[in-house]
Structure 1
C-alpha cells in the first residue's frame, strides 16, 4: 500500500458515515434507494475531508477516495447495476466535497440531504450518465 497512513482517516470516515446513516435512516440505507445514495456520497465527502488533513491537497484526497471507493465496489457482491449506482454516487460525493470545503459536518449532512431529494431513479446503467452531478438510485 502506497499510503498506509490514509487507512486511518478512511476507517474513521467509514465509521462516521454509518453512524450518521443509521441515525437518519435506520437500516434502509442498505437498499438501493435514495438513503443508499446519500450514504455513498457522504462516505466519499468524509473520506476526502478526513484524508485532507494528511495529504494537505484536495486533489490527492479526491484521488484517494476514488481509489478506495473503486476498490470497495470491485470486492463487493453487487449486481452490475448496483455497482454502477454506487460508483456513480461515490463520484458525486467527491464533487460535493469540492463544493463543501471548509463546511462543518452539520452543513455537509444538510447539503447532501437536500441533494438527496433530487436523486434520480434509474432503471438502466446508461441513464446514470445523464445525471453527472446528481445522485441516483434504482429502487424507491
Structure 2
C-alpha cells in the first residue's frame, strides 16, 4: 500500500505532526485511510495517471478526497467534519511539499472540495463523481500563485 511506503519516508518530526492530528480523533484513523484509498481508486478509474499531473483530474481528486474525508468525520456537525478534512489534507501538503504554485493549487482545491461537502451530502457515489467531474471540467487554469484569489469557489489547475 502506498500509504505505508510514504509513512516510512517521514522524519521523526513529520511522524509526530501526523500523530498529533490522529491522536485527537483516533477512531478516524482507519476511516481516513479508507477514504484516502477510495479517493485514489475512483480517481484512477476515472482519469488514470492523469490524476497525478496538475490538470483538471488532479483538481477532481483533491476535491473528492476532502469530501470523502468530511463524510467519514460527519455526525451532525458539518463544520467539525470539514475541519477534520482540512487538518488531514493540510498536513499532507506539509508532509509532501510541492513547488509553491502546486501547493497553492492543491490547498485551494482542498478548500473548494470542503465547500462542496454540504452540497453533496445526499448524493450517491455515482452522483458525487458526476458532480465533481462537471466541476473539474469547468476548473480555471492558473499560472501564478495570486491567480487562485480570482476563483474562490471554483477548482483550479496548472
TM-score (norm 2): 0.83
Distance (whole Å) between structure 1 residues aligned to residue 139 and residue 98 of structure 2: 20
Gaps of 5+ in 2: 1-22
Higher normalized helix content (fraction of residues): 2
Count of residue correspondences? 136
Who is 2:133 aligned against? 113
Give CA-to-partner distance per residue, 1:11-56, whole Å, 9 cap, x none.
111010111011111111001110000000000011111221xx43
Gaps of 5+ in 1: none
Q: Higher relative CO (CA 8 A, sep ≥ 6), structure 1 or 2? A: 1
Q: CA deviation at 1:77?
A: 3.0
Higher CA-based Rg: 2
What does 1:10-25 correspond to in 2, within 5 Å? 10-25=32-47
Q: Does 1:8 align with 2:52?
A: no
The 4+ residue runs of structure 1 with deviation greater than 6 A are none
Distance (whole Å) between structure 1 residues aligned to residue 58 and residue 154 of structure 2: 13
